[in-house]
Amino acid sequence: MASNNGDVKLIGAWASPYVMRPRIALNVKSVEYEFLQEQFGSKSELLLKSNPVHKKIPVLLHNGKPICESSIIVEYIDEVWSSGPSILPSDPYDRAVARFWAAYLDEKWFPNVRAAPMAATEEAKNAAVEQLKEGLALLEGAYGEISKGEDFFGGEKIGFLDIAFGSMLGWLRAVQVILGGVKLLDEEKTPDLCKWAGKFSADPAVKDVLPETEKLLEFSKILMAKMKPASSS
């Protein structure tokens, strides 16, 4: 449908937390877009042409121009559709804090979410789980400081850090199951984050794009089968 938003397409995949971020951001801004799903296991011509450097999803195509890297796409969406609800905080220090934690999640924390179920040894698995729990304890503290009594990191409504972190909730929940019911988000240790996770998941901009844990569990079986080499017997 033609609109004065221009032509908006997003190359992605339903299960990717990184893809979820721009989807949530576009929903916050009420911008309609065409979702071009990549087939698992192959990369389309369009993806390779639009992101030749990294060849990864998500890629936003706005009037044909590509923008890559999920956090960068979210900032772009916030700046272009500036009349909609704002995603980054307006205060420079608050922006720095949000960006800091988003970088922490991407570089330090989420890699352990992926590593834990794939760990080769019990020891490695436990180490990854410990790192995850330590990270969540840090984030529980950060939530207390940043939300200042409101529901979200962004205050009354979801913002940049809610989106960065919340997009990982699907996989966090799935990995808890895969690890045999390990409590990462813990009512006792991270009560505020548990409440926040519930509110985030129910947010109108989020609920249709956050995949169900069941679907991720099914998908993870396919992923793990592809990643583990066939054992010789």
Partner 1 sequence: MAEVVLLDFWGSPFGMRARIALAEKGVKYEYKEEHLLTGKKTPLLLETNPVHKKIPVLIHNGKPISESLVIVQYIEDAWSDTAPLLPADPYGRSQARFWADFVDKKIYDQGKKIWANKAGEVQEAGKKELIESLKLLEGELGEKPFFGGETIGYVDVALVPFYTWFYSFETIGNFSIQAECPKLIEWVKRCLERESVSKSLVDPEKVYVDLILVLKKMYGYE
**Which strand ranges, in their side-by-side order, compose the sheet holding 59-62?**
34-37, 8-12, 59-62, 65-68
Q: How far is the CB of 18 from partner 1 (least distance, A)?
A: 13
Burial class (CB in 10 A: 0-12, 13-18, 19+), 119: middle
C-beta closer to partner 1: residue 145 or 208 = 145
C-beta closer to partner 1: residue 65 or 215 = 65
C-beta closer to partner 1: residue 82 or 233 = 82
C-beta closer to partner 1: residue 3 or 233 = 3
> How many C-beta neighbours within 10 Å does residue 37 have?
13
Q: How far is the CB of 92 from partner 1 (least distance, A)?
A: 4
Cβ–Cβ under 8 Å, residues 163 and 25: yes
C-beta closer to partner 1: residue 59 or 116 = 59
Check the CA dihedral 109-113-118-121 and report its sign. Answer: positive
Per-residue burial over 212-221, b = 16 or more CB atoms within 10 Å of its CB, e = otherwise: ebeebeebbe
- Radius of gyration for the chain, computed over Cα atoms and rounded to the nearest angstrom: 18
Residue 80: closest CA among 58, 62, 59: 62
Q: How far is the CB of 181 from partner 1 (least distance, A)?
A: 29
Give the residues lining the site for partner 1 (CB under 8 A).
53, 62, 65, 67-69, 72-73, 75-76, 79-80, 92-93, 95-97, 99-100, 103-104, 138
Gap between the Cα atoms of 127 and 135, Å rounded: 12
Q: How far is the CB of 149 from partner 1 (least distance, A)?
A: 20
Q: How far is the CB of 89 from partner 1 (least distance, A)?
A: 10
Q: Which residues contact 157 (CB under 8 A, 6 or more apart)?
A: 28, 85
Q: How far is the CB of 189 from partner 1 (least distance, A)?
A: 18
Gap between the Cα atoms of 140 and 69, Å rounded: 26
Q: How far is the CB of 163 from partner 1 (least distance, A)?
A: 16
C-beta closer to partner 1: residue 69 or 203 = 69
C-beta closer to partner 1: residue 35 or 76 = 76
